[in-house]
Chain A
Amino acid sequence: MKKDINTPLLDEILQDIGTFRDPETSDFFYTRLKAKMEEPSPAGWSLPMKPVWIIGIFLVLLGLNSIMLVKQFQSAKTTTTESTGVSDVANIYDLKISSTTY
């Protein structure tokens, strides 16, 4: 069963407009249609040139770059920790580490 809803403004507009006639296509509709049917291939973006693909590739590259940067940052941090470890051992055994060569 249909619900009774109150839409006075819409009903008034629809009543005033009355029937919407089917709009007419141009006289050359069929000629254009035949020409389109005889076209060898549809025009438009070819697959690798579609914006969505280019943006996708760009985002993948951006992601890879970010991963590489994070990895580089992490490996730099590990190297610093390792060198700190060596100087700690030298201190414990009271060894003098000198970078100066005689």
Chain B
Amino acid sequence: MDEQELIQGLRQGDEPAFRWLVDQFRNRVYHTALNILQDDKEAEDAAQETFIQVYESVSSFREDSSLSTWIYRIAMHKALDKLRRRKTRQTLRKILPWWMPEEKRSSSENFDHPGVAAEQKEKSYLLFRAINSLPLKQKTAFNLIKVQGLSYKEASAIMDQPVKAIESLITRARINLQEKLEQLYKSNRQ
């Protein structure tokens, strides 16, 4: 299905067009959310909310970017919103432990990325622990480019930042990750 036909179909509320869109993008959208949230249930929620927003706001989609960029952008914002809310809940839980119930999160310190081969799991745990310690923008840029394999140009369109800014984020992310990984390796040896 061609992108214009798809957009037209979505604007007319055509269910097969929506189903086709979900089938085409669901794994990629889920991957974006999963890398940011490192929690499979929250990532699935974020992915579903992304498609709901796509369905509800496709009529206001201005087509100044490709449909996939727009979908990725929504997914990124949904995941970042969930991450911020999680952090707020964690802060509140520290202040008012009797009021905020403990959450049953499906992720642990060792985030198990489902797209990594079994023999590389240990390295993947360390890498994602290090990624989790990065500032949000660096984390998002690194995930989009180095984990999801998108180009700098695509990441720049999704994050609404110039390519130069994305390059700078990746450089800083790499330096920070190198330092964090060295620390993690040292503490693992002790």
**Cβ-defined contact, A5 with B52, below 8 A:** no
**Cβ-defined contact, A17 with B22, below 8 A:** no
Name 8 A/B residue pairs within 8 A (Cβ), A-sorted: A6-B178, A7-B178, A9-B182, A18-B117, A18-B120, A23-B27, A36-B52, A37-B52
B11 at the interface (CB under 8 A from A): no
A29 at the interface (CB under 8 A from B): yes
**Cβ-defined contact, A17 with B181, below 8 A:** no
**Cβ-defined contact, B126 with A33, below 8 A:** no
A25 at the interface (CB under 8 A from B): yes
A6 neighbours in B (Cβ, 8 Å): 178
**Cβ-defined contact, A23 with B52, below 8 A:** no
B114 neighbours in A (Cβ, 8 Å): 21, 23-24
Nearest 4 interchain pairs by C-beta:
A21-B115, A23-B114, A7-B178, A22-B27
Complex: how many Å from CA A13 to CA B129? 13
Q: Mark A1-38, 1 if CB is under 8 A from B, else 0.
A: 01101111110011011111111111001101100110
A20 neighbours in B (Cβ, 8 Å): 31, 113, 115-116, 147-149
**Cβ-defined contact, A17 with B127, below 8 A:** yes
**Cβ-defined contact, B149 with A19, below 8 A:** yes
B48 neighbours in A (Cβ, 8 Å): 29, 32-33, 36
Counting contact residues on chain A (CB < 8 A from B), the size range is 20 to 34
Q: Per a CB cutoff under 8 Å, which of A13, A36, A55 touches B181?
A: A13
Complex: how many Å from CA A25 to CA B34? 11
Complex: how many Å from CA A34 to CA B77? 21
Complex: how many Å from CA A19 to CA B181? 19
Given A5-B175, A23-B114, A30-B22, are A13 and B123 also a contact pair (CB < 8 Å)? yes
Shortest Cβ gap from B58 to chain A (Å): 13
Q: Per a CB cutoff under 8 Å, which of B27, B95, B185 touches A25?
A: B27
B55 at the interface (CB under 8 A from A): yes
B19 at the interface (CB under 8 A from A): yes
B154 at the interface (CB under 8 A from A): no
Shortest Cβ gap from B134 to chain A (Å): 12
B136 at the interface (CB under 8 A from A): no
Given A23-B113, A24-B114, are A33 and B51 also a contact pair (CB < 8 Å)? yes
Complex: how many Å from CA A26 to CA B43? 12
A56 at the interface (CB under 8 A from B): no
Complex: how many Å from CA A24 to CA B34? 11
**Cβ-defined contact, A16 with B88, below 8 A:** no
Complex: how many Å from CA A8 to CA B148? 21
